[in-house]
A and B are shown apart, each in its own frame.
Chain A
Amino acid sequence: MMDIDRNAALSLRDLRKSFGPVDIIRGVNLDVIPGERHAIIGPNGAGKSTLFHLVSGQLQASSGKIALEGQDVTYMSPEQIYRRGLSRSFQITNVFPTLSVFENVRCAVQWSRGLRYAWWSLVDRRADITQAVEEVLHQVGLEDRRDVLAGLMTYAEQRALEIGVAIAGGGRVLLLDEPMAGMSRAESEHATELIRRVSCNRTLLMVEHDMSVVFSLADRISVLVYGEVIATGTPEAVRADVRVQEAYLGKDGH
């Protein structure tokens, strides 16, 4: 087995995950180059979300290796992985519904700014924290909604907040799990721009079904079919790949 690539932002080696007798991820090898926007596509049930759960620590791998910037994180807890610079968003909006937009982002800013579990200082008094939160709100275009409870916003706004919470901690590697799921065409164009913006100076790994988004955003694409990566390359190369056409693009009619 090849060893992990120490120069990659994210390096997966022979990663496997099974639930009982069912193998979901069957030996994934993947290297994400620092600074690139990398998309993972594949038919339903290919294991894309499971792969994200493994990388972010929500699920534990059955075997194989995951390295984040050369550091083995395979058996770390989600918060340990997060603290090493990997943050993620969720396919189903997963924010703090009865907190305001501002507070949602602030919760995500707190740890990386060193506030941790502090009980001796008032967080409202920290102008640097407030400023950092406002910068994130500006980036995701929610500065007008800062005092609205997250659970009361429109779906598209909640998706934007989801991304805001993911980037607020300053993670260098960003995982976005179907950021466009359930969006209208106009909303998803807007969100594409948002993702382009927030992925500057970051490494982006995203799962997305919307092919126009994938081909316009991604520097490279990996195709996951039945728990294996069958092709990795530039959008053009992947589009031209015969196996990909057979397994995915052709059949699904995209």
Chain B
Amino acid sequence: MSSPSTSSGASAYAGLWPWLLFAITLIAAPLLSGTSIPVSALSQAAIAIVFAASYNLLYGQSGLLSFGHAVFMGLGGYATVHALQAIATAQLPVPLPLVPLAGAAFGGIAGLAFGWLSSRRGGTVFAMITMGFSELVVALTSVLLGFFGGDRGRSGDRTSALPVFGIDFAGEQQVYYLIAAWTLVAVVLMYLLTRTPLGRIARALRDNPERLPFVGYDASQVRWRMFTASSIFAGLAGGLYAINYEILTPQALGIETSASVLIMVVLGGASTFAGPILGAVFFTWLRLDVAHRTEAWQLYLGILFVGTVLFAPQGLSSVVQHFRSLAQQGRLALRLPFEFARGIALALLVAGTVLAVEAGWLLSQVKEKGAVLTLFGTSTDVRTAPVWLATALLLAAGAVLWHVASRKALDSDAAASGAVKAKS
């Protein structure tokens, strides 16, 4: 008898290549980056990956919209900082690679406790309760000073932990590899969780919570378990955050951090497992690189977010899936010219948007900054017509090209399928 799960040979390992790619990227990133991408940015991206993937256990896998996920990362981070302090004071022989587990444990305990209440209902009620918890914990940071240390937060020293094979993790590259190793482990574990009976039933919960009792499951119990699992990994992300920055402030568990993880997941695409990972990397790049280049980076983030929700609800992962399904159907070569045209259209739209945002941004503060905008290697006065004409032209050209290319692509598909039918 043949069964798909026990099929042997190459197909059994076909699913492994994305993991190999992921591992190689994690290992090779600092070597390739040179000076343009600092290692600290890579650490930040890796932490964001764990955080976003943990959030997607709720949002993408279970259909639960939480506005308080940063609470568990923050609490995990604080717990880890406390662990570092305890290790320093009591001279405990704990190696640093194990310290982030304090974050995972504390995040899990907090998730178990908060989840008990918030998991009773799904949908809007769940979202509201998580938001309430988030506000509650933020308020506690200025009350429980012993634990949170008030506005200035709490700090620890990662070199106070035991060195491993002579590595003391003082350098950024060393700590990056520690974070990257945990990232790989956490992402693999989260992926495996989605393949367990609990993970499968969570997807059923996402699809249709009303039906769940009629296949024997208590929806609140499924929610509670997934909530706790996701809090464990969020706590681990907090632990990695703590050993990376060696300081935790209340900002780490605030609503803004909770919103940013939602944005990461949506940008990357919640419906796939890999989407949030892409989204986390993309978001980190936006926050570091784009924010470095322009003050208006949050405006870009807003435009991107709204654009994604409206036009590409499956986020970045839909681009990958689009090309993959084209390749599977053997239509990639046929479609390539049109996809290329759409790429150009997208570039024109992005250029037009950037010009509009930058010119508008400068126009709003001409008094302070002057009216000369330097962009794409040219300088112009934003109070004159050419800038705005160019903006309109870029946006219009992009939109038209996109529309035409998409239309032609569909026409060519129809023609191709017609030819196939004629042949048979």
Binding site for B on A (CB under 8 A): 56-58, 77-79, 82-83, 87-88, 90, 94-99, 103-104, 106-108, 110-112, 115-125, 127, 130-131, 165-166, 168-169
> Do A116 and B197 form a contact, CB below 8 Å, given A96-B207, A130-B3?
yes
Minimum Cβ distance to chain A for residue B229 (Å): 7
Interface residues of B in 180-216 (CB under 8 A from A): 192-193, 195-201, 203-204, 206-208, 210-216
Residues of A contacting B212 with CB < 8 Å? 79
Please name all residues of chain B whose beta carbon is closer than 8 Å to the beta carbon of A78 when the two chains form the complex. Answer: 213-214
In the complex, residue of chain B having the shortest beta-carbon distance to the beta carbon of A82: B216
Majority-rule SS of B interface residues? helix
- The stretch that binds A, out of B88-96, B218-226, B238-246, B415-423, is B218-226
**Across the interface, which residues of B come within 8 angstroms of A165, CB to CB?**
211, 215
Quote the shortest CB–CB distance from B296 to chain A (angstroms): 37
Report whether A98 and B207 are in contact in the complex, using a CB–CB cutoff of 8 Å: yes
Chain A CB within 8 A of B424 CB: no
Residues of A within 8 A of B329 (CB): none
- Can you name 18 A-B residue pairings with CB atoms under 8 Å? A96-B204, A96-B208, A98-B206, A103-B203, A110-B216, A111-B217, A119-B193, A119-B229, A120-B196, A123-B196, A123-B197, A124-B5, A127-B5, A127-B6, A130-B3, A130-B5, A165-B211, A169-B215
Give complex CA distance A117, B362 in Å: 56
CB-contact partner of B200 in A57, A103, A120, A166, under 8 A = A103
| Residues from chain B with Cβ under 8 Å of A57 in the complex | 213
Chain B: residues with CB nearer than 8 A to chain A? 3-6, 192-193, 195-201, 203-204, 206-208, 210-218, 221-222, 225, 229, 271
The CA of A103 and the CA of B225, in the complex, are separated in Å by 20
Chain B residue contacts of A106, Cβ below 8 A: 200
| B3 and A127 contact, CB distance less than 8 A | yes
Q: Which interface residue of B195, B199, B208 has the most chain A CB atoms within 10 A?
A: B208
Considering the complex of A and B, which 9 residue pairs feature the smallest CB-CB distances, nearest first? A111-B216, A78-B213, A115-B197, A96-B207, A79-B213, A108-B215, A119-B198, A107-B204, A118-B197
Known: A123-B200, A124-B5, A127-B5. A117 touches B215 (CB 8 A): no
Residues of A within 8 A of B207 (CB): 96-99
| A99 touching B203, Cβ below 8 Å | yes
Q: A229 vs B222: C-alpha distance in the bound complex, in angstroms?
A: 38
Closest to B6 in A: A127
CB distance from B61 to the nearest CB of A (A): 12
In the complex, the chain A residue whose C-beta lies closest to that of B271 is A98
With A98-B207, A99-B204, A130-B5 in contact, do A117 and B213 touch (Cβ < 8 Å)?
Answer: no
A110:B201 contact, CB within 8 angstroms: yes
Given A99-B207, A119-B225, A125-B5: A112 and B216 interface contact (C-beta under 8 Å): yes
Cross-chain contact B195 with A79 (CB below 8 angstroms): no
What's the least CB distance linking A36 to chain B, in Å? 22
Q: Which A residues touch B6, using CB under 8 A?
A: 127
CB-CB under 8 A for A82 and B5, given A116-B197, A117-B198: no
| Shortest CB distance B164–A (Å) | 28
Smallest CB separation, B304 vs chain A (Å)? 25
A107 touches B5 (CB 8 A): no
- Are B195 and A124 touching (Cβ within 8 A)? yes
Report the minimum CB–CB distance from B81 to chain A (whole Å). Answer: 29
A120 (CB) vs chain B CBs: closest residue: B196
> Cβ of B221 and Cβ of A122 under 8 Å apart?
no
User: Nearest residue in B to A87 (C-beta to C-beta)?
Assistant: B214
Task: Write the nearest CB–CB distance from A140 to chain B, whole angstroms.
Answer: 15
Name the one of A79, A87, A99, A166 contacting B217, with C-beta atoms under 8 angstroms.
Answer: A79
How far, in whole Å, are A127 and B213 apart by their CA atoms in the complex? 25
How far is it, in angstroms, between the C-alpha of A87 and the C-alpha of B212 when the chains are bound?
12
Are A117 and B197 in contact (CB-based, < 8 A)?
A: yes
Contact B214 A82 (CB under 8 A): yes
Q: Which residues of A sit under 8 angstroms from B203, Cβ to Cβ?
A: 96, 98-99, 103
Complex Cα distance A98/B205, Å? 11
List B contacts of A116 (CB < 8 A): 197
Known contacts A119-B196, A127-B6; decide if A107 and B213 are in contact (CB<8 Å). Answer: no
**How far apart are B156's CB and chain A's nearest CB, in angstroms?**
31
Once bound together, how far apart are the Cα atoms of A118 and B215, in whole Å? 15
A104 cross-chain contacts in B, Cβ below 8 A: 204
Chain B residues within 8 Å of A107, by CB: 200-201, 204, 215
A79 touches B216 (CB 8 A): yes
Known contacts A110-B215, A127-B6; is A119 also within 8 Å of B199 by CB?
yes
**Contact (A88, B195) CB under 8 Å given A110-B200, A123-B200:** no
Q: How far is the CB of A29 from chain B (nearest CB, A)?
A: 25
Residues of B near A123 (CB, < 8 A) are 195-197, 200
Shortest Cβ distance from B228 into A: residue: A119
Which residues of chain B have C-beta atoms less than 8 A from A87's C-beta?
214
**Distance between A12 CB and nearest chain B CB, rounded to angstroms:** 19
Given A79-B216, A117-B221, answer yes or no on A95-B211 (Cβ-Cβ < 8 Å). Answer: yes
Known contacts A107-B201, A117-B222: A122-B196 contact under CB 8 Å: yes
Bound-complex Cα distance A121 to B193 (A): 9
Chain A nearest Cβ from B220, distance in angstroms: 10
Report the separation of the CA atoms of residues A53 and B214 in the bound assembly, to the nearest whole angstrom. 11
Name the distance in Å between A100's Cβ and chain B's nearest Cβ.
Answer: 11
Q: Do A94 and B196 form a contact, CB below 8 Å, given A110-B215, A112-B216, A125-B5? A: no
**Nearest B residue (CB) for A116:** B197
Of A77, A121, A166, which contacts B213 at CB under 8 A? A77
B210 near A121 with CB under 8 A, answer: no
Given A78-B213, A99-B207, A130-B5, output 14 extra A-B contacts at Cβ < 8 Å. Answer: A77-B213, A79-B217, A82-B213, A82-B216, A83-B216, A90-B211, A98-B271, A103-B203, A107-B200, A107-B215, A119-B193, A122-B192, A123-B197, A168-B215
